[in-house]
Amino acid sequence: MPHLSFTLEPLSAIIPAVRAALEEGQEVTLDVPDPDAGLGLYAGEISPTGRHRPWSAWADLADALGAHLLTPQPSGPGRARFGLRRYAAAPAPDAGGYGVGGDWARVDKLEDPVLLLTLVEALRRINPPAGGRVLALGVNSGRELDALALAFPRRPIPDQHFLDQHFLDQYFSDQHFPDQYFEVVGVDSDASALAAARGRYPAATFLELDVAELSHPDQRPLELGRFDLILALSLLQSPGVRRDVLLKALCRHHLTEIGGLVLGFPNARYRDGLLSYGARMRNFARPDLSLLCADVTDTRRNLQKRGFQVFVTGKYEILLTALPIERRVGCELAL
């Protein structure tokens, strides 16, 4: 395994050396000034142990070169040693579809801390009322619905554990729940994923439906009713979805006058189990954000023309949060 040691070298010299070492083998070890010894310094500043770089810089370098950052170890006074291991050549987890039998079932998007924090913030901006209705498009197995309980701990969706603890028969005898709980409707086209969602949230309603049917110009609007919150993560760029037509249908037929939307646009892909930054376009070796920026900008402009104020947040998933312009953000946003 190649072993590289750096002290005062600039990053412009480090990158070619590390790239060459990774091309020769699967793994390389780096010995560098300990980032913990330079806390408070900017990347590239000189410290008594050498040129400082924070761990975040080494993590970004690893991802940019297509490698895992392995667990660092001390290697002497003011020094640290860590390995980089190339990503294994593996298909994307959604390559086999979105059902429970595929690799996508292993993915929990709320394990991304930036998405979790920004999603909770977005939900609190919308602040649907107690007992309000929530529509989740492309809900899959329902994992993202867990964010509702984090954002609004006093008005969650009753899950299976809750129901087991509070006498399931009593609650289902009249088919309703206390007024503070959200009424959730989830829509997805994969039956196996919806079965998992029903197991996770038996009090919610899950419909097997192609989202494109919500905006089909030759059909009457589906009788789903109106909602105080519409949530759609990593959906609007899907094949067969006409984003502008879908937004028009949602705003016209399925959103209440005070309702809002949280729309997610992926800005990453999964590589060998790791969330790797940057939207990819076909036949591009490196991330290219052209299509992402265009779609986010067009969607933001579309919603603003419809009378919404729009917030853009996020990192690996760009979130557009839209609420009627006359409304004010009225609660604490942070988790």
Q: What is the pLDDT of residues 271-287, one digit of tens each?
A: 999 999 998 776 677 78
CA distance 106 to 162: 24
Check whether residue 42 and residue 114 sit in a common domain.
no
In a domain, 330, yes or no: no
Check whether residue 318 and residue 267 sit in a common domain.
yes
In percent, the amount of the chain with pLDDT more than 70 equals 87
Q: 9: domain CATH number? A: 3.40.50.150
Q: What is the pLDDT of residues 108-130, one digit of tens each?
A: 999 999 999 999 999 999 999 99
**What residues form DSSP beta bridges with 277?**
268
Q: Which residues contact 218 (CB under 8 A, 6 or more apart)?
A: none
- Looking up tokens 């429970």 gives 100
Check whether residue 268 and residue 187 sit in a common domain.
yes
- Note whether 83 and 41 are within 8 A (CB): no
pLDDT of residue 163: 47
Check whether residue 160 and residue 307 sit in a common domain.
yes
Amino acid at the residue 25: G
In a domain, 141, yes or no: yes
**Lowest mean pLDDT, pick from 34-38, 57-61, 63-67, 170-174:** 170-174
Q: What is the pLDDT of residues 146-203, one digit of tens each?
A: 999 999 987 767 665 554 544 444 444 444 445 578 999 999 999 999 999 999 999 9
- Note whether 77 and 58 are within 8 A (CB): no
Q: What is the pLDDT of residues 232-254, one digit of tens each?
A: 999 998 888 899 999 999 999 99
pLDDT of residue 92: 87
Check whether residue 145 and residue 78 sit in a common domain.
no
Check whether residue 109 and residue 143 sit in a common domain.
yes
Amino acid at the residue 274: L
Q: Which two tokens stand for residue 214?
A: 């919500």
Q: Which residues contact 134 (CB under 8 A, 6 or more apart)?
A: 128, 148, 182, 183, 184, 185, 227, 228, 229, 230, 231
* DSSP category for residue 118: H
- At 116, phi and psi to the nearest 5? -60, -45
Give the residue from 141, 138, 239, 136 showing the smallest Cα distance to 192. 141
Helix, strand or coil, per DSSP, at residue 132: coil
**Has this prediction a pTM greater than 0.75?**
yes
- Looking up tokens 């402009």 gives 301
CA distance 90 to 66: 12
CA atoms within 13 A on the CB side of 298: 14
Q: Which residues contact 267 (CB under 8 A, 6 or more apart)?
A: 277, 278, 279, 289, 292, 314, 315, 316, 317, 318
pLDDT top residue among 161 and 97:
97
User: What is the extent of the structural domain holding 67?
Assistant: 3-86
At 216, the pLDDT band (50, 70, 90 cuts) reads low
